[in-house]
Structure 1
Amino acid sequence: MAYKMDPRINMCLLEQCAEGTRRIMKEGFTPSRGGDISLRDPSTGLIYVSGNLKDLPFPYATFLEFRAQDIAVFEPDGTLVSPWAVGTIEMPMHLAIMRARPDVNCVLHTHPQWSTVFAMTHKDIPLVLTEQSYHLGGEIRTAKYAPAGAMEVGDYVVEALGDRNAVLMDAHGSVAVGERMDMAFAHAHYLENVAQKAIFASLLDRLYPLKEDEILADHFMEGTA
């Protein structure tokens, strides 16, 4: 079937979003087909989101088969502008984050191993490493639970995310954000790194959370170094 293409749609961003979807599995952020990614085009405001595998004409076995034509495109208010593909059930969450965070142009939702352990136990990841403040913005909170696809998911995730670069989804997975796709993936990798270290450290002793004002020496904080 031939579809009329909205002239605002950027083919490069369709391919970039498809590549991001493939990277979710390539880089070990999901065991099979869980998770999704979204990109915002600052020039048009359009948001590109991983399409729903179940609604594709020929459902793929894994994310590794994702192509540009499988990406859904939305207005910021959720209006679909790509008749050939629809978003996943987490699409409203992606849009909610984009609306709340104008500094974010990529939202990466995954089901990773280590940080999901915290999400399964309803625990935040405390600020336990100095570089954690720089990479992720501080402690990583776990958003309140809501069933997958519920409209409340977006509200809870936005609330727990705040101005940080990552958030956990209770009994579900995680979200990492960034100004660009490479930054969102870097934050997702760092989230997994700190979660794994925190779990192993807790086997030896209790964790010792840091305070934000303990991260840098006073002369660095004051910009007089």
Structure 2
Amino acid sequence: MNIKSKLLHTGNELLQKQLTWGNSGNISARNDKENMIITASGTNMGQLSEDDFAFVHIETQEWEGTKKPSKEIPMHRAIYMNRPDANVIIHASPFWSTLIACSEQTMESKLFIESMYYLEKIEEVPYFHPGSAALGEEVGEAAKKANVLILKNHGVIVLDDSVEEAVMRLETLEFTCRMAIMAKGSGIPLSVLTDEIAEDFLANSGYKGIDKVK
């Protein structure tokens, strides 16, 4: 399956798992070292077609395709330029994760195996208008520190070296956000693991975390 076919499938998968809705969000992948493929502006993530993608030169931002690429090019290119290990980026606004992004609550990753494994470090990015150069710059800097970014009052970004891992990372984020919000609303205190336990887990789990990429 080529990368465009994978992204087509991924858009539908995200919709089925309620990780996207309508034309919110965008996905991209490296096509080669210099170019990325990204969803077009205004496309419905769950109903993508072959024409709903554009090829964009990462450095110059010049593009080719039948439709204009997403205006979020600045933050996608910033991640690819700052993280040579990143091959796939998903920007979405699933309900529970976006609720966290629109609140003062911070997310904790040291809760259970999958949250430690797939979330590890979570960076918050302050609000900047979508598609702005300022948002791109902030996202690029945050991506140097984490594979999961919460964009305040906007949504979330996950990045990884494969489509499958990126989707799993987003699923884990949404599940963890939902758990945290429901626990708080129910008055159930969460038991957070220590930094030492989390570090030992990451060091011995075989996970290629952000610290091992540098």
Distance in 1 of aligned mates of 2:71 and 2:194: 37
Matched, 1:15 2:5: yes
User: Aligned to 1:37, what secondary structure does the other structure show?
Assistant: strand
Match of 2:108 in 1: 126
2:169 to 162, 171, 187: 187
CA shift in 2, pair 1:64/1:193, >3 Å = closer
User: Aligned to 2:37, what secondary structure does the other structure show?
Assistant: strand
1:46 to 14, 30, 35: 35
CA shift in 2, pair 1:28/1:126, >3 Å = same
Residue type matched to 2:40 in 1? G
Offset at 1:33? 1.3
Matched, 1:36 2:26: yes
Distance in 1 of aligned mates of 2:6 and 2:112: 32
Q: Which range moved further: 100-109 or 147-156?
A: 147-156
Matched, 1:105 2:94: no
User: Aligned to 1:137, what secondary structure does the other structure show?
Assistant: coil
Offset at 1:216? 5.7
User: Aligned to 1:146, what secondary structure does the other structure show?
Assistant: coil
Q: Which range moved further: 71-80 or 182-191?
A: 71-80
Normalising by structure 1, we get a TM-score of: 0.79
Distance in 2 of aligned mates of 1:222 and 1:63: 37
Q: Contact (CA 8 Å) 2:26, 2:90: kept in 1 or not?
A: yes
Matched, 1:158 2:147: no
Q: Contact (CA 8 Å) 1:112, 1:173: kept in 2 or not?
A: yes
Match of 2:195 in 1: 212
Match of 2:98 in 1: 116
Matched, 1:144 2:132: no
Normalising by structure 2, we get a TM-score of: 0.83
Aligned length, in residue pairs: 203
Distance in 2 of aligned mates of 1:222 and 1:93: 32
Find the structure with the greater CA-based Rg.
Answer: 1
Q: Contact (CA 8 Å) 1:17, 1:68: kept in 2 or not?
A: no
Q: Contact (CA 8 Å) 1:142, 1:169: kept in 2 or not?
A: yes
User: Aligned to 1:160, what secondary structure does the other structure show?
Assistant: helix
Q: Which runs of 5+ in 2 are unaligned?
A: 206-214
Match of 2:208 in 1: none
Q: Contact (CA 8 Å) 2:89, 2:166: kept in 1 or not?
A: yes
Q: Percent sequence identity over matched residues? A: 22
Q: Contact (CA 8 Å) 2:110, 2:192: kept in 1 or not?
A: yes
CA shift in 2, pair 1:97/1:216, >3 Å = closer
Q: Which range moved further: 96-105 or 26-35?
A: 26-35
Question: What is the CA RMSD across the aligned residues, in angstroms?
Answer: 2.5
CA shift in 2, pair 1:49/1:207, >3 Å = same
